[in-house]
Chains A and B, each alone.
Chain A
Amino acid sequence: MSRRRQELTLTIAGPVLLLLLWELLSRTEIINPIYWPAPTALWPTAIDMFQNRDLLGDIRISMWRILAGFVIGTVPGVMIGLAMGLFWPVRVFLMPLATAIYAVPKIAILPLAIIAFGIGELSKIMIVAISIFFLIALSTMSGVLAIDTQFRDVASNLGASRWQMFLTVALPGSLPAIFTGMRLALGFALIVIVGTEFLAASKGIGYVIWQNYQILRIREMFVGLIITGLLGWLMNLVLDLVERVVVPWRNT
């Protein structure tokens, strides 16, 4: 078997084995099927939710919140991170702030976000943006700092201006680290948006999970959970593809 097929087999084997075990335990009632419905029993529930309860709308709105927050947090995060990496005064000035805020559990700022941005969509997008901002900034900064100083010497020896240095050395040199940061940020964003939708939303995948839990519709809750997992997986996949295009020298 080729390496590639081995990888594919192993990738699929994990989830499949887990589902099989779960199915088996639930069917044999070793675990209580009321609280742990078998995966195959969830299927009709999922179809029903898509057809009659606008599950797609919930997915869409959660995706939108994540995506918008992701962009709003990543773009300035990268810029600040580059500045922190390139200019030591900026780094020294922002470092205590960044590390302190980075350590706060993100969901804890939800009340503040609501006070600042209202109860509507903006606060949900902004809380995602704020939660990933420092993560992106810090990983971008470490990416810049890890660039071999020889590259700077070569560039300036060949006539690069400060601005050209920024565009042709600092930016491409830190791209791998930026992507590492974005991969972590994606996880953060998902956690934060589900948590936010638990507490302060009337639509979205987190809302679906929490709402159904409260009225003990366990199957519906499980559908929401599985979809959340699939979303995380899918977004990572998309990020991998983007990385392959943007950082081609890394993936060959």
Chain B
Amino acid sequence: MSRTYANNQAETKANPIAGACVVARNITKVFSSPGGVITACKDVNLSAAPGEFVVIVGPSGCGKSTLLRMMAGLDSPTSGTLQVDSPNGKRPTNSMVFHGRTLFPWLSLRSNVAYGMQMHGKSRRARLDRADELLDLVGLGDFRNAWPHQVSEGMRQRTSLARALAIDPQLLLMDEPFGALDEQTRYILQEELLRIWDNTGKTVIFVTHSIEEALLLGDRIVVMTARPGTIADDIVVPFPRPRSLTTIRSHAEFGPLFDRIWSRLRDEVERGGAFR
């Protein structure tokens, strides 16, 4: 089967609101449960300028998802300050692409994508049209009426992306969004994401375990330590845009940067004790 992905003229037409600005200062998050106290992350300083694409990598359990949840306003820091500002002075909007099965099983793919717009009070016509556009964009136009359990994991993940884009957020928070995808789909969606980002000026904070993906997507890569997570390294990615895997792989800085991130991560994974 050949997949067709519509080009994203819809995105260029959309009102290009610049992205939100994120500043986190000395963020610490402690979870206390009957089983004990866990410090997920400690003294994290992290910022993202409007329109910046920041990638976070770090060993499992170092608090990456926790950080994103706090930026999304789903959880609050135990100490430290976290500021998300909108460039137009209004309330900043964000949406998150969670990892795992987070499509509502009781809504069709189309209604899932339209959900955020429904919550924001858009008219039925407008939100269904927009949902169809976005489903076309991620190559799922033929599946708009399917239930989530009827489509593959990769298709569900693409729908989640469309759902997050549908409310046209200033800040897009993505938690390992492409981790469960097959390689080809991942490439296509990475390209698509870059194009959307480029056209809309959204700020993106993106968590991944793939160093290559981090290098392909990010303006900056933030490397975190093992739990309690702190920032171990903050790297500016020098590759010119537009990027593709081929162009970045042949760039002179690719190897050294890859090694730098990998050696950092390896130290942390070993320190974290998972492989001892």
Contact with A along B113-139 (1 / 0, CB 8 A): 001101110000000000000000000
| A153 and B74 within 8 A (CB) | yes
Chain B residues whose C-beta falls within 8 Å of the C-beta of A168 in the assembled complex: 104, 115, 118-119
Of the listed stretches A97-105, A131-139, A169-177, A194-202, chain B binds A169-177
- Residue B106 CB within 8 A of the other chain: yes
- Residue A28 CB within 8 A of the other chain: no
Chain A residues whose C-beta falls within 8 Å of the C-beta of B105 in the assembled complex: 249
Chain B residues whose C-beta falls within 8 Å of the C-beta of A247 in the assembled complex: 106
Given contacts A155-B119, A158-B115, contact A169 B163 (CB under 8 A): no
Query: Chain A nearest CB: distance from B71 CB in Å?
Result: 11
Chain B residues whose C-beta falls within 8 Å of the C-beta of A164 in the assembled complex: 119
Expressed in whole angstroms, the Cα–Cα distance for A132 and B77 within the complex equals: 45
| A154 and B104 within 8 A (CB) | yes
Contact with A along B135-154 (1 / 0, CB 8 A): 00000000000011110000
Chain A residues whose C-beta falls within 8 Å of the C-beta of B115 in the assembled complex: 155, 158, 168
> Which of B94, B105, B148 has most A Cβ within 10 Å?
B105
Cβ-Cβ contact count across A and B, 8 Å cutoff: 60
Expressed in whole angstroms, the Cα–Cα distance for A175 and B119 within the complex equals: 21
- Residue B98 CB within 8 A of the other chain: yes
Expressed in whole angstroms, the Cα–Cα distance for A58 and B106 within the complex equals: 40
Expressed in whole angstroms, the Cα–Cα distance for A252 and B116 within the complex equals: 26
CB contact between A158 and one of B101, B106, B148, B163 (< 8 Å): that residue: B163
- Residue A63 CB within 8 A of the other chain: no
- Residue A151 CB within 8 A of the other chain: yes
Chain B residues whose C-beta falls within 8 Å of the C-beta of A148 in the assembled complex: 101-102
- Residue A180 CB within 8 A of the other chain: no
Chain A residues whose C-beta falls within 8 Å of the C-beta of B72 in the assembled complex: 157
Query: Chain A nearest CB: distance from B174 CB in Å?
Result: 12
| A154 and B119 within 8 A (CB) | no
Chain A residues whose C-beta falls within 8 Å of the C-beta of B100 in the assembled complex: 150
> Considering only CB atoms and an 8 Å cut-off, how many residues of chain A contact the other chain?
22
> Considering only CB atoms and an 8 Å cut-off, how many residues of chain B contact the other chain?
26
- Residue B95 CB within 8 A of the other chain: yes
Given contacts A164-B119, A249-B149, A252-B150, contact A157 B96 (CB under 8 A): yes
Chain A residues whose C-beta falls within 8 Å of the C-beta of B24 in the assembled complex: none
- Residue B226 CB within 8 A of the other chain: no
Return the chain B residue nearest A159 by Cβ: B119
Chain A residues whose C-beta falls within 8 Å of the C-beta of B106 in the assembled complex: 172-173, 175, 247, 249
Chain B residues whose C-beta falls within 8 Å of the C-beta of A161 in the assembled complex: 119
Chain B residues whose C-beta falls within 8 Å of the C-beta of A173 in the assembled complex: 106
Given contacts A153-B69, A249-B105, contact A158 B149 (CB under 8 A): no
Contact with B along A216-227 (1 / 0, CB 8 A): 000000000000
Chain A residues whose C-beta falls within 8 Å of the C-beta of B116 in the assembled complex: 158-159
Chain B residues whose C-beta falls within 8 Å of the C-beta of A160 in the assembled complex: 119
Interface residues in B201-221 by Cβ distance below 8 A to A read: none
CB contact between B98 and one of A154, A159, A175, A252 (< 8 Å): that residue: A154
Return the chain B residue nearest A161 by Cβ: B119
Expressed in whole angstroms, the Cα–Cα distance for A198 and B262 within the complex equals: 78
- Residue A40 CB within 8 A of the other chain: no
- Residue B41 CB within 8 A of the other chain: no
Chain B residues whose C-beta falls within 8 Å of the C-beta of A45 in the assembled complex: none
Chain B residues whose C-beta falls within 8 Å of the C-beta of A32 in the assembled complex: none
Chain A residues whose C-beta falls within 8 Å of the C-beta of B98 in the assembled complex: 150, 153-154
Given contacts A168-B115, A249-B149, A252-B150, contact A156 B104 (CB under 8 A): no
Q: Can you list 29 A-B pairs with a CB-CB distance of less than 8 A? A: A148-B102, A150-B98, A150-B102, A151-B104, A153-B69, A153-B74, A153-B96, A153-B98, A155-B119, A156-B74, A157-B73, A157-B74, A158-B95, A158-B115, A158-B119, A158-B163, A158-B167, A159-B120, A161-B119, A164-B119, A168-B115, A168-B119, A169-B104, A172-B104, A172-B106, A175-B106, A247-B106, A249-B106, A252-B147
